Amino acid sequence: MPDTALTNASAQIAGAAKDGLVIKAFFDAPTFTVSYVVHDAETRRAAVIDSVLPYDPAAGRTSPDAANPIIAYVGEQGLTVDWHLETHAHADHLSAAPYLQQKLGGRIAIGAHIREVQQTFGTLFNAGSDFARDGSDFDRLWLDGDTFAIGNIPVTVLHVPGHTPACVAYVIGDAVFVGDTMFMPDYGTARADFPGGDARTLFRSLRRLLELPAETRLFMCHDYLPEGRDHYVWETSVADQRLANVHAHDGISEDAFVAMRESRDRTLAVPRLILPSVQVNMRAGHLPPAEDNGIVYLKIPMNQL
């Protein structure tokens, strides 16, 4: 079957104006996450991608420290935020999308397969009937191949499952925000052992992205600073990944990748903030409702992960 969504994304990249799209990265060192503000220089319409709300699990306290610089930048640049785009329900940090939405406006969007993630984690956390598992906590759910625009910049959404079932990549103008599929070439790829994750599916998703034109700019969601490098980086290209990605360069077979990924995943610790992150991010970044004393609580399911 022809991959119409990918063909459309490739055509979009090939035809993209080179000067309209402005990309600003914000790096959150505690979680190694890169958030982005992208905007159209002409209309000054903008989207925020994968924002972070810092969380101190010992105190049970959130902080806007990582989100406030985004608000300041949006103000300085005179931008109108139309979208808060999530590449997936993150397992390592809380999303700041609701906080930013309250301050800046805009709609919160994620891949439509978030419903599967909500089912899984709704069950794990024994969430009450207040928790809708139909994606309605989000303002928009993307299907593979969906298109929209940020000002005059065209966007194509690609469903790239494997790290999680609902992962999407955003092809914005000539740039791709790959989420947790691949990381920088010297670090490799995302883990595939979260609930609903799958190494074979991940390989297919990331190789699909590498079918985009060679010069396509790729922006990572994390940089974990591998040994041998002393500074964080988050931009690479399809050509660089195909040549040099340590887990998935051209010539590495699907079976070899799956064997490598599954054995590596057995060695990885559970992310420090997975339990707070998923029970908040499954609700589009909203905290669970307060109890009758007005206090919000997070749950810790015992001996489940």
Ligand X SMILES: N[C@@H](CCC(=O)N[C@@H](CS)C(=O)NCC(=O)O)C(=O)O
Interacting residues toward ligand X by CB under 6 A: 31, 91-92, 180, 190-191, 222, 224, 268, 271-272
Please report how close the Cβ of residue 277 comes to Fe ion at its closest, in angstroms. Answer: 9
Half-sphere exposure of 54 (CA within 13 A, CB side): 15
The least CB distance from residue 90 to Fe ion, in Å, is 5
Least CB distance to ligand X at residue 62 (A)? 16
Closest contact distance (angstroms) between CB of 191 and Fe ion is 8
Half-sphere exposure in the Cβ direction for 249 (13 Å, CA): 11
Choose between 91 and 171: whose C-beta lies nearer to ligand X. Answer: 91
Binding site partner of 268, from ligand X, Fe ion, none, Cβ cut-off 5-8 A by kind? ligand X
Query: Nearer to Fe ion by C-beta: 268 or 302?
Result: 268
| Residue whose CB is less far from Fe ion, 74 or 160 | 160
Q: Which residues bind Fe ion (CB under 5 A)?
A: 180
Query: Alpha carbon of 193 to those of 124, 165, 258, 259: distances in Å?
Result: 16, 11, 11, 13
Rounded Cα distance between 53 and 45, Å, is 23
Strand partners, 23: 38
- The minimum distance between CB 41 and ligand X, in angstroms, equals 31
- d(CA 160, CA 169) in angstroms, rounded, equals 6
Question: Which of Fe ion, ligand X, none interacts with 191 (beta carbon under 5 to 8 A by kind)?
Answer: ligand X
Alpha helices, H only, the chain: 4-15, 68-77, 97-104, 114-124, 199-209, 238-244, 254-265, 274-281
Tokens 């994606």 belong to 135
Structure tokens at 163: 């790290």
**Nearest CB to Fe ion, comparing residues 82 and 180:** 180
Q: Which of ligand X, Fe ion, none is residue 297 near (CB under 5 to 8 Å by kind)? A: none
